Chains A and B, each alone.
Chain A
Amino acid sequence: MTKELFTGAEMVVKALSALKVKYIFGYPGGSVLDLYDAIFQQDEIEHILVRHEQAATHMADGYSRATGEVGVVLATSGPGATNCVTGIATAYMDSIPMVVLAGQVPTTLIGNDAFQETDIVGCTRPIIKHSFNCRDLADIPNVIAKAFYIASTGRPGPVVVELPKDLLIPQNKAEFAIELDVKMRSYNPNVKGHPKQIRKAVKTINEAKKLVVYSGGGIVLSDASELLTTLVETLKAPITNTLMGLGGISGTHENFVGMLGMHGSFEANKTMANADVILALGARFDDRVTNNVEKFCPNATIIHVDIDPTSISKTINAHVPVVGLVEVVMQQLLDELAATNFTPDEEALADWWQQIHLWRDMRHVGYKQVAGEKIKPQRVVEAMYKITNGEAYVASDVGQHQMFAAQYYPFAKPRQWINSGGAGTMGFGLPAAMGVKLAFPDKHVICITGDGSIQMNIQELSTCLQYNLPVVIVALNNRSLGMVRQWQDMVYGGRHSSSYMESLPDFTKIAEAYGHVGIKIDTLDELDSKLAQAFSIKNKLVFVDVLVDEKEHVYPMHIRQGGIDDMWVEKGVKA
C-alpha cells in the first residue's frame, strides 16, 4: 500500500489544524500562493485578510492576549514579511505567543537578491524567541509544532518560520508526520521554583513589616490572577500592578493601590519606595517602573519570581531570586506559608496600611472638569467605564489616552486590558481590538486611541467591514501628539516641534466612507448620552471622535532621574 503524500502547503494547513488553530491573520503574495490555495480548499481554519501585514501581527497579538492562544500570522516574502517586523517586536517586548509564517523565494534563488527576497530570519533575529529556516518539505509539520511549543511555553514570545516557495508547490510531495508532544534537548524551561529559594522567600516575607506585592504581565500571561488574589489576601499586603499586569488583581480590590511607575498612582509609588520587602511576581523592573535604578527602593529586600532568569538582577539586584512559572511558584509560596503557620504581623500591618491610606487620601490622581469648558480626556474614560460596567475589553493605542485608560478604567479581570506596554507601538490599538472582537463577538470591545495613533492603521476599518467586527473606537482627539506635546511642555520649553496635526481628517466621515457609523462629540453636555448611544449600536462599528482638551497632561509623572516616588502630581507641583 502506498502512503498518502502531501504538498508542503497542505502540510502547513494540516499541522495548523492539528494544533487547533482557528484563525490565521495574513495577506497573500507570490511566494505563498500555494499556501493560500490550500487554505481555500479547507474549512477548519479561517483566514482573516487584513489591509497591511503589520495589522495582521497586531490582530493575532490582540487575539492571543484576549484568549491565551497562539496568534498565527501569514505573510509573503520580502515586503510582506518586513511589514510584520513592528508587530513581531511588539509581541516580543510583551512576551506574547505568536507564530509568523513568512514566505520566501525558492531555495534555489535564496541569496540571489531575487524578486521579493528579504532575509526575514536575519531581519527579525533580535526580536524573536526563536526562528526556523525550513529547507526540507518533510520537516514542515514538526517545525510548526516546535514553533508553537516554543512560542507558548516558558516565557512566551514570537517565533518566525520561513517557508521557501519550492517547499510549498504541488510538484513536491512527502508523507505527513507530526509529533505534537515536542521534546527538545536544548529547550526545557524551568517550571518549579527551587525549594530552598521558596523557604528563603517565605522567611523574608515573615520578617517583613512593610511588604508590597508588585505584579506584572506574567500573572496575566499565566492566568494566575485567582492565585495572586489568594496570596495577597493571605498576606494582607498592598499590591501594585505594572501597566502590563493590570487586571492581574481586580482594580477595585481593597488591597490594590493602583499602577506603579512613570504614570503610576501616588500611593503605589510611595508604597514601593517605603516598603521593606518587595515581592515581585512576573514583572521585570522595567525602566518605566523604576525611574533611576540607583535610587530605587533603597531599603527593600527584593524577592523576584520570574520564568526568565535574564529578567532577574538585570536592572535591579534581587536578594531572593526564584526562577519558575509564576503560578507554580505562588502555589509553592502558599504551601510553604501554610506549612510554617504564617500569621501576618497585625500590628505592623495596621501601621503600614494607615500610612498607605494617608497617601491614598491625598488623591493625587485627579483632574478638574469645569462645566462649559473643553472635555477632559479622563472624563471620557470614566464615562466609558460606567457605560460598560467596567466589563469591556479595552485595546489601547499608545500615548496619553493609553495612560488615562490605565488610570481611570479599573480592570476587574486579566486579559481585559490589551496594550503595547514594552514596545509602545502606535497603531496597535485598532487591529488588536479587532483580534479581541473576533474571539469575543458578544462583548464590548473598545479601541481607545488618539488622533495620531489611529492614523497608523486606519486602513483596517475596511477589514472590520469585511469580517463584521463592530468594535467601538473612541478617539481622544486633542489635535496633537499628546504625550510628545506633554514632554515638550515639561522638558523642551513648550516648543511643540512636529507634535500637532494641522490637517486632520473628519474621522466620522472616514468611518462612514468605510461603511461604519461616525459620532462626533465636542461638548461635555452630550458626552454621556452620545457615548451611551455609541455603545448601544451592536451590529455596526462606531467611531466616536471626542474633541478633548489638548492642554491636559498625564499625572502623576516621574521626575526624571529621581526615585520611584519622585513625581510631578500636577502642573508645576512636585510630590
Chain B
Amino acid sequence: MRHILSILLENEPGALSRIVGLFSQRAFNIESLTVAPTDDNTLSRITIATIGDDKVLEQIVKQVNKLVDVIKITDLTERKHVERELLLVKVVAMNDKSRTEVKRISDIFRGAIVDIGKQIYTIELTGSSDKLNAFIETLNNETEIIESVRSGCVGIARGEKALRV
C-alpha cells in the first residue's frame, strides 16, 4: 500500500543523505521525495511517498525515527490529509486545433499555461498524484509530450493536527 510520510528534521548538512541512505541500505522503496526548509529555517521537512506492507512501514517509521537528526515522523495516510503535487509539462501545440484542444484539456483540469513557444505550450498543474496521472494520460491522447517534471507529493494533515516542534 502507498503511504505518505512527513518527516521533520534538523536542517543540518548531511541530514537528507542519512534519510536517503537509510532507504537504500534497508531496501525500502521511495516513490517520490521532496525536501525544503520550513518556516523555521533550522528545520527541514521531507515528504516521502513509499510503498510497503504494514510490517515494512513499521520498520521504515522506526528506522527513520532512530536517526539522530529526525525530530518527528508521521504517516499522513493514516488519517485525513491534503496531498498535492506540482506538474510542469511541455507539449507540442503546432496548429490551431491542437492549441485549442490542449487549452481545453488544461482548463478542464484547472491547469495554467505558463509558457508559449512557436510550437509548444508549457502547462502547470497541481493536484493529487492521481489527478496528475489522469492529466498526463489525457494529454498523451491528444498531443505529444516533449518533457515533463513532477515535484513529488507534499502533504499536510487536515484539521488541528500539526507536525511541529
Contact = CB atoms under 8 A, between A and B. Distances in A.
Of listed B17, B62, B68, residue having the most chain A CB within 10 A: B68
B68 A130 contact: yes
A186 interface: yes
Contacts of B65: 309
Nearest to B8: A186
A314 interface: yes
Interface in B67-87: 68-71
Given A309-B62, A310-B63, A187 B68 contact: yes
B37 interface: no
Contact of A133 (B13, B25, B63): B13
9 contacts: A121-B14, A125-B21, A126-B21, A126-B25, A186-B70, A309-B62, A310-B59, A310-B63, A313-B58
Given A125-B18, A125-B21, A310 B62 contact: yes
B17 A122 contact: yes
Given A125-B21, A313-B58, A186 B66 contact: no
Q: Which 7 A-B pairs have the closest CB atoms?
A: A130-B68, A310-B62, A186-B71, A126-B25, A309-B62, A125-B21, A187-B68
A150 interface: yes
A129 B21 contact: no
B9 interface: yes
Nearest to A135: B13
Contact of B10 (A135, A186, A314): A186
Contacts of A126: 21, 25
A150 B165 CA distance: 20
Contacts of B66: 308-310
Interface string B1-28: 0000000011001100110010001000
A131 interface: yes
B17 A186 contact: no
Nearest to A309: B62
Given A308-B66, A309-B66, 15 more contacts: A121-B14, A125-B14, A125-B18, A130-B69, A133-B13, A133-B14, A184-B68, A186-B10, A186-B68, A186-B71, A187-B68, A309-B62, A310-B63, A313-B55, A313-B58
Interface string A304-325: 0000111001100000000000
B50 to A, nearest CB: 16
Contacts of B71: 185-186
A184 B25 CA distance: 26
B63 to A, nearest CB: 5
A314 B59 contact: yes
Chain B CB within 10 Å, residue with most, of A121, A184, A310: A310
B13 A150 contact: no
Nearest to B65: A309
Contacts of A121: 14
Nearest to A188: B71
Interface string A107-145: 000000000000001100110011101010000000000
Contact of A150 (B25, B55, B68, B70): B68
Nearest to A317: B55
Given A310-B63, A314-B59, A186 B69 contact: yes
Interface of A: 121-122, 125-126, 129-131, 133, 135, 150, 184-187, 308-310, 313-314
A310 B61 CA distance: 9
A273 B71 CA distance: 40
Q: Which of B17, B62, B63 has the most CB of A within 10 A?
A: B62
A186 B9 contact: yes
| Residue in A150, A186, A187, A309 whose Cβ sees the most chain B Cβ within 10 Å | A186
Contact of A129 (B9, B68, B165): B68
Contacts of A184: 68
A74 to B, nearest CB: 21
B43 to A, nearest CB: 10
Nearest to A310: B62
Contacts of B9: 186
A305 B64 CA distance: 20
Contacts of B17: 122, 125
A122 B65 CA distance: 20
Contacts of B14: 121, 125, 131, 133
A294 to B, nearest CB: 14
Contacts of B59: 310, 314
Nearest to B42: A185
Contacts of A308: 66
Nearest to A133: B13
Contacts of B21: 125-126
A385 B144 CA distance: 79
B72 to A, nearest CB: 9
Contacts of A150: 68
Contact of B165 (A122, A185, A187, A313): A185
Contacts of A122: 17
Nearest to B68: A130
Contacts of B18: 125
Contacts of B69: 130, 186
Nearest to A308: B66
A81 to B, nearest CB: 16
Nearest to A131: B14
A24 B94 CA distance: 72
Nearest to A129: B68
Contacts of B165: 185
A553 to B, nearest CB: 34
Contacts of A314: 59
Nearest to A146: B68
Contacts of A186: 9-10, 68-71
Interface in B26-66: 55, 58-59, 62-63, 65-66
B131 to A, nearest CB: 35
Interface string B116-137: 0000000000000000000000
Chain B CB within 10 Å, residue with most, of A121, A125, A184, A313: A125
A125 B13 CA distance: 13
Contacts of A125: 14, 17-18, 21
Nearest to B9: A186
B62 to A, nearest CB: 4
Nearest to B13: A133
B75 to A, nearest CB: 15
Nearest to A122: B17
A308 B68 CA distance: 13
B19 to A, nearest CB: 11
A184 B10 CA distance: 10
Nearest to A154: B66
Nearest to B63: A310
